[in-house]
């Protein structure tokens, strides 16, 4: 029964990633591009490349995405890499399909971009919520944070890296396309990230995982061996369960699925996840 439930959960996750990728590609092709706006992150880079060179959009997206997907697969793990590959492949194919669909949202640019940004944000939120990713900037930021954390033992938010990355994209749009495209695209970013944060609880922030268990050793060992993470352990007492151990560890959003798998393997554990804005040392 447990295995069946897990398989159904995986099928649902991939279905949501596919749905989210199709929503994102529809938004870009049918709403944003006709209204002089672009996507953000590596998709934005691909769109700028396509506009400047005249090359096919889906081809540019594939070329830009591939290095980040390979890096994500090698550094962030096979399971994450497969979901990122599926999401990116569907997004790329979706761009090709929707380019042939005779539909454009012809309305006032501001309204169209706000609406397109909302659809894009909803699609990306679905993908992120179910463990996928179709934007190389998020993979890049995740890899940088992981490398810094492994070296220093400290946890950092991805916010600064993502903002800097996208600032470079909009500066390129300003220089290589035009001022309106850059400003409209900035609005897309604001609307989309607002939707994403609403449904993923600030995916770019640090996550605190609190685990209450009677058998902490296996969890601690798995966190260290599989994720190179440590944790704080405290004595605790439950009114019914009696003496327990409370473990507290800090991870980023993309590492959460790995922590959940480790916890699931250790029956009898109770855990919560909360968002941390800052860690003071």
Please check whether residues 194 and 231 belong to one and the same domain: no
Structural domain contains residue 72: yes
Average pLDDT over residues 221-239: 87
Least confident of 14-23, 59-68, 173-182, 237-246: 237-246
Average pLDDT over residues 261-280: 83
How far, in Å, are 81, 86, 194, 276 from residue 17 at the CA level? Answer: 13, 8, 19, 26
Average pLDDT over residues 225-236: 87
With cut-offs at 50, 70 and 90, classify the pLDDT of residue 281.
low
Structural domain contains residue 281: no
Please check whether residues 15 and 141 belong to one and the same domain: yes
Structural domain contains residue 268: yes
Structural domain contains residue 248: yes
**Among the listed residues 16, 43, 17, 18, the one whose alpha carbon sits nearest the alpha carbon of residue 29:** 43
Q: What is d(CA 55, CA 53) in angstroms, rounded to the nearest whole number?
A: 5
Domain termination site, one of 146, 170, 200? 200
Domain termination site, one of 200, 233, 264? 200
Q: What is d(CA 83, CA 6) in angstroms, rounded to the nearest whole number?
A: 16
With cut-offs at 50, 70 and 90, classify the pLDDT of residue 2.
low
Provide the mean pLDDT of the chain: 87
Instruction: Provide the pLDDT for residue 266.
Output: 80
Q: Cα Rg for the chain, rounded, in angstroms?
A: 20
Please check whether residues 222 and 180 belong to one and the same domain: no
Please check whether residues 9 and 107 belong to one and the same domain: yes
Structural domain contains residue 86: yes
Please check whether residues 20 and 61 belong to one and the same domain: yes
Which CATH number does the domain housing residue 213 bear?
Answer: 3.30.70.120
Domain limits for position 234: 206-276
How far, in Å, are 12, 17, 18 from residue 139 at the CA level? Answer: 23, 16, 18
Please check whether residues 167 and 216 belong to one and the same domain: no
Q: What is d(CA 170, CA 41) in angstroms, rounded to the nearest whole number?
A: 9
Please check whether residues 35 and 120 belong to one and the same domain: yes
Q: Please count the CA atoms within 13 angstroms of the CA of 86 that sit on its side-chain side.
A: 21
Domain termination site, one of 200, 220, 245? 200
Please check whether residues 120 and 241 belong to one and the same domain: no
Please check whether residues 171 and 73 belong to one and the same domain: yes
Please check whether residues 169 and 105 belong to one and the same domain: yes
Residue by residue, what is the 3-state secondary structure of the chain? CHHHHHHHHHHHHHHHHHHHHHHHHHHHHHHHHHHCCCCCHHHHHHHHHHHHHCCCHHHHHHHHHHHHHHHHHHHHCHHHHHHHHHHHHHHHHHHHHHCCCCCCCCCCHHHHHHHHHHHHHHHHHHHHHCCCCCCHHHHHHHHHHHHHHHHHCCCCCCHHHHHHHHHHHHHHHHHHCCHHHHHHHHHHHHHHHHHHHHHHCCCCCEEEEEEEECCHHHHHHHHHHHHCCCCEEEEEEECCCEEEEEEEEEECHHHHHHHHHHHHHCCCCEEEEEEECCCCC
Please check whether residues 129 and 242 belong to one and the same domain: no
Please write the tens of the pLDDT for every residue from 101-139.
887 776 777 888 899 999 999 999 999 888 888 888 888
Please check whether residues 177 and 79 belong to one and the same domain: yes
**Percent of the chain beyond pLDDT 70?**
97
What's the pTM?
A: 0.84
Number of domains in the chain: 2
Q: Taking 80 as the threshold, does the pLDDT of residue 241 lie above it?
A: no
How far, in Å, are 30, 88, 110, 274 from residue 100 at the CA level? Answer: 10, 19, 24, 43
């Amino acid at each position: 029964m447990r295995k069946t439930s897990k398989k159904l959960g995986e099928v649902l996750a991939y279905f949501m990633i596919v749905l989210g990728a199709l929503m994102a590609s529809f938004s870009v092709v049918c709403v944003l591009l006709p209204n002089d706006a672009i996507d953000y992150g590596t998709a934005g880079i691909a769109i700028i490349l396509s506009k400047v060179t005249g090359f096919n959009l889906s081809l540019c997206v594939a070329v830009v995405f591939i290095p980040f997907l390979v890096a994500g697969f090698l550094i962030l793990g096979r399971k994450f890499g497969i979901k990122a590959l599926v999401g990116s492949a569907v997004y790329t194919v979706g761009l090709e399909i929707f380019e042939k669909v005779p539909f454009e949202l012809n309305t006032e640019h501001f309204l169209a971009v706000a609406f397109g940004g909302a659809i894009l944000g909803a699609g990306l939120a679905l993908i992120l919520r179910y463990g996928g990713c179709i934007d190389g900037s998020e993979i890049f930021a995740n890899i940088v944070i992981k490398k810094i954390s492994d070296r220093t033992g400290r946890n950092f938010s991805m916010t600064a890296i993502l903002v800097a990355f996208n600032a470079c994209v909009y500066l390129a749009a300003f220089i290589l396309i035009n001022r309106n495209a850059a400003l409209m695209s900035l609005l897309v970013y604001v609307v989309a990230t607002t939707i994403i944060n609403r449904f993923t609880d600030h995916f770019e922030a640090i996550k605190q995982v609190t685990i209450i268990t009677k058998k902490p050793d296996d969890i601690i060992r798995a966190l260290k061996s599989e994720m190179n993470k440590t944790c704080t352990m405290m004595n605790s007492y439950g009114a019914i369960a009696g003496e327990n151990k409370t473990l507290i560890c800090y991870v980023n959003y993309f590492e959460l699925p790995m922590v959940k798998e480790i916890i699931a393997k250790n029956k009898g554990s109770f855990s919560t996840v909360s968002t941390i804005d800052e860690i003071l040392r």
